[in-house]
Homo-oligomer: A and B are copies of this chain.
Amino acid sequence: MTSSAPLLHTSCPLCGPAPAGLIWEDAQLRVILVDDSPFPGYIRVIWRDHATEMTDLSPEERDHLMRAVYRVEALQRRMLQPDKINLASLGNQVPHLHWHLIPRWRSDPCFPDAIWAPARHDPALQAAWQRRAQELRSHTPALCDAITAALGDT
């Protein structure tokens, strides 16, 4: 779909008005900062139409979506210097196509597990991570500005 009027489902929380944390959007996708996450710099790239799977999109749409994912990943790496990037399109709870782009650090609560696994931290490590996360969060405004500049204006 290249129309500027996305296909929406009224009961879907990812359809409709832009959610909090919007960094950038075009007619096909939105880029969101997940600001309430314990993982600084966590971004979601959300397809605007109510598609469910990558293979519901045309090849051109897939490429457009993934080019945005790669640009954001490159900026997360450059500006936050994480130990790893995690990419995931799950959608079991909200089956509206969206990508999770999660910078990971060896000292974060779940590393080396996925962020959906139980946290491993003991209280001492948790306190150290909170200080580190606060410092990392001070860079997220610059990350958002860089994403806006890299993806350009619609």
Contacts and interface: CB of A to CB of B under 8 A. Distances in A.
Interface of A: 52-55, 59, 62-63, 66, 69-70, 73-74, 77, 84-93, 95, 104, 111-114, 116-118
A14 to B, nearest CB: 15
Given A55-B74, A114-B116, A88 B86 contact: yes
B92 A73 contact: no
A59 B84 CA distance: 20
Contacts of A69: 54
A117 to B, nearest CB: 5
Given A93-B112, A112-B93, A114-B114, A70 B55 contact: yes
A97 to B, nearest CB: 10
B87 A111 contact: no
A54 B87 contact: yes
Given A54-B70, A62-B70, A116-B117, 17 more contacts: A53-B84, A54-B73, A54-B85, A55-B70, A55-B73, A84-B91, A86-B88, A86-B91, A86-B92, A87-B90, A88-B90, A90-B114, A92-B112, A92-B113, A114-B114, A114-B116, A117-B118
